[in-house]
Amino acid sequence: MTVNLITALSKKVEELSDAEATAELKWLASEIKRHNYIYHNYDRSEIADADYDRLFKRNSAIERQFPLLVRQDSPNNRVGARTISTFNKVEHLIPMLSLDNAFSKTEMSDFGCRIRRFLNLRDDEPITFVAEPKIDGLSVSIRYENGRFVRAATRGDGLFGEDVTDNVRTLKELPVQLNGNDVPKVIEIRGEVYLSHDDFEVLNQRQKDENWKTFSNPRNAAAGSLRQLDAKITASRPLRFFAYGWGEATSLPSDTHTGVVAAFKRWGLPTNLLIEKHDKVEALIKYYSDIIQQRVLLGYDIDGVVYKVDRIDWQYRLGASARAPRWAIAYKLPAEQAITTLDDIEIQVGRTGALTPVAKLRPVTVGGVVISNATLHNEDEIIRKDIRIGDMVRIQRAGDVIPRVLGTIKNSRHKNSEAYIFPSICPACGSKAVREIDKKTGKADSIRRCTGGLICPAQAKERLKHFVSRNAFDIEGLGSKQIEFLFEDGRVRNPAELFKLEYNNSKSSQPLEDQKGYGLLSVEKLFAAIRARRTISLERFIYSLGIRHVGETTARTLAHAFGDWCTLQKKVAVADANVNDEAYTCIMNIEGIGPSVASAVTDFFKEEHNLFFLKELLSHVNINSVIPPFQHKSDIAGKTVAFTGTLQNLSRNEAKAQAIRQGAKVVSSISKNTDYLVAGITTGSKLSKAERFGITVLNESEWISLLNE
């Protein structure tokens, strides 16, 4: 602690004169602002959390004692608090999804074929695509009402982003008012915030001149600049913006993607001049090659090229999967490679007990990023590639994909090197690690798993990390390091104990705020973040449980299939995979759920420890039921629909997507609970089964009429 700080805090507040209080409030406002700036802008601290808290508490105490002396720039009135990520959450009514990736000409060609099949198009019917560079920046959604800028949000997890309105408002290229007669009443402009190469160099030079930390690349600089809690810092950065799409809109000025983007330009929004239209895959691939050749001359970073279907009605028909639109794809830059030394192989134990080998590498730069770890996938992969500790290895990093080891440089191998022996004992708990045998195929699983279950501390910690992760409970201030500390310190051993942490802390003789790395303010922020997550959506709750084979997409599928937690728990609890009963068949019939997932889910709910854990957890949280994903009243909302035979005007996938959009549940097989069977030509056994059960059978035209009612 500095001498100034000690002096400032030495005199009791009630003993201060008005002049002393005025002077100290001025000093405190300046000092707290300076520490906020350093912390948020340069990711470091000059004082400990506890000392920062003392500054803040001192300021608040003086303001309470001298209310007439409160300054306009009081730290209590500022947006920028000590904790990072204190932005308000904003819901994206139209999700901001990611893009599927292509890394080869073959994958690009497959993309075109998938669209043709989904839309049931003739082979000779042209599909016009929009092509544009994929800017490497930070995605944002900017809302205009009656042409006026009202709000901006980051992508976040696609469903909820951070409110960065004040920061985005500082972008000089972005109009506050859109100009044009065809501007919709409401429209969300989506685009990329980025830094040009020239501006990045100027910014880093300024950082050097002021003895501040420089940025590693333009993307990190742009993302860090936009997410400042002090908008003045953002305003001082030369951020730019390209508009490339839209979210919610009351109307659109064109029926094509290129037409809408052209309207953006008329309205005053910056758009990319390199947008082109092509209707042949060969022309799209040539565009990619041309952009790659021009890459160094563009003046900004890209990480590939984006292709989108131009017709908006086709975009709507194609819809989206859980993570990406079906009508767009990113053709990523060629994967970059490097050669380095494999210093060690570390075995990590995951939340489901999987033992994953991680290559510990001598640090090497690949595509501007320093790589020191890479995946080795599994035991079989190490054997197949004959990877040994001490080898020179070739690694590859493609886009945002985790770096992987391609193979070894065997002619450089030391003559005394030994083959790596994969452990058969869990390194975390000492339990046996086995490769499970598939009952149907008789083959061993490629993954070796710890059999320790709940006694394995590594699994317990990883489950906790998964529980608080972004797509689960998303608790601010609880990262990997914090979970490690809370677990090792005995404060939190399971998810339910997170919600008892605040109460237990109030009774503790060694409260969290007294521990290294914590302070009163940071602990209060943590408790507030935990309290804010006592209510959660059903799909996030299912995902948070860490059930094997249940990722985000499957969790969403289960949530929409059952609607609420009580229904899910009631139906799954009585299902038995071993006897293949009606309840189990009901789960299997859910579109997108296979036998592996169905078995994993039913097994989870039969484990006594899991039921005890759920009972305790449910006493602390509220689970919101699913809101049906349709905007208008639909005759098929809540109905169960199956399809059989070949449809003539729709592909099977499009028909299923339409049903789901209007709130129906699509199943893969018939049961007594099925409401409709849509039958095309060349039907199978489903038709006779439907007639036996008295299920309503619709032909294709009747189905389309029902959708349009």
Q: What is the pLDDT of residues 594-606, one digit of tens each?
A: 888 888 898 888 8
Share the mean pLDDT of the chain.
87
Crossing angle of helices 49-65 and 3-10, rounded to 10°: 40
pLDDT at 126: 94
CA-to-CA distance for 493 and 500, rounded, in angstroms?
A: 11
* pLDDT confidence bin for 121, thresholds 50/70/90: very high
572: pLDDT strictly greater than 80: yes
pLDDT at 37: 64
When pLDDT is averaged across residues 672-697 and rounded to a whole number, the result is 85
When pLDDT is averaged across residues 510-539 and rounded to a whole number, the result is 90
Provide the phi-psi class of 245: left if phi over 0, else alpha when psi is between -120 and 50, else beta: beta
pLDDT at 131: 98
Lowest mean pLDDT among 170-174, 570-574, 587-591, 632-636: 632-636
pLDDT at 577: 59
pLDDT at 210: 84
Lowest mean pLDDT among 28-32, 90-94, 295-299, 324-328: 28-32
302: pLDDT strictly greater than 60: yes
Token pair for 420: 């790596």
* pLDDT confidence bin for 628, thresholds 50/70/90: low
Cross-strand bridge partners of residue 623: 536
Structural domains of the chain sorted by starting position, each given as residue range(s) with its CATH number in brackets = 3-77 (1.10.287.610), 101-332 (3.30.470.30), 335-451 (2.40.50.140), 456-533 (1.10.150.20), 537-624 (1.10.150.20), 640-708 (3.40.50.10190)
When pLDDT is averaged across residues 1-17 and rounded to a whole number, the result is 61
Which DSSP string do the residues of 307-324 spell out, in sequence order?
EEESBHHHHHHH-B-SSS
pLDDT at 591: 78
When pLDDT is averaged across residues 215-241 and rounded to a whole number, the result is 89
8: pLDDT strictly greater than 60: no
When pLDDT is averaged across residues 560-570 and rounded to a whole number, the result is 90
pLDDT at 638: 79
Task: Provide the pairing of β-strand 240-249 with 276-278.
Answer: unpaired
CA-to-CA distance for 213 and 218, rounded, in angstroms?
A: 14
* pLDDT confidence bin for 465, thresholds 50/70/90: very high
Q: Evaluate whether 616 touches 569 at the Cβ level (below 8 Å).
A: no
Mind listing the pLDDT tens digit for each residue in 372-425? Answer: 999 999 999 999 999 999 999 999 886 656 789 999 998 889 888 999 999 999
CA-to-CA distance for 408 and 392, rounded, in angstroms?
A: 6
590: pLDDT strictly greater than 90: no
* pLDDT confidence bin for 441, thresholds 50/70/90: confident
Mind listing the pLDDT tens digit for each residue in 125-143? Answer: 999 999 999 999 999 999 9
Q: How far is CA 604 from the centre of its chain?
A: 25
Q: What does the DSSP 8-state code read for residue 453?
A: G
* pLDDT confidence bin for 39, thresholds 50/70/90: low
Instruction: Respond yes or no: is residue 481 known to be catalytic.
Output: no
When pLDDT is averaged across residues 280-285 and rounded to a whole number, the result is 92
Q: Evaluate whether 643 touches 656 at the Cβ level (below 8 Å).
A: yes
Of the residues 11, 33, 89, 134, which is catalytic?
Answer: 134
Cross-strand bridge partners of residue 378: none
When pLDDT is averaged across residues 644-654 and rounded to a whole number, the result is 84
* Contacting residues for 418 by C-beta, under 8 A, at least 6 apart: 388
* pLDDT confidence bin for 193, thresholds 50/70/90: very high
84: pLDDT strictly greater than 70: no
Which range has highest mean pLDDT (356-360, 433-437, 651-655, 689-693)?
356-360
Q: Evaluate whether 357 touches 377 at the Cβ level (below 8 Å).
A: yes
pLDDT at 237: 93
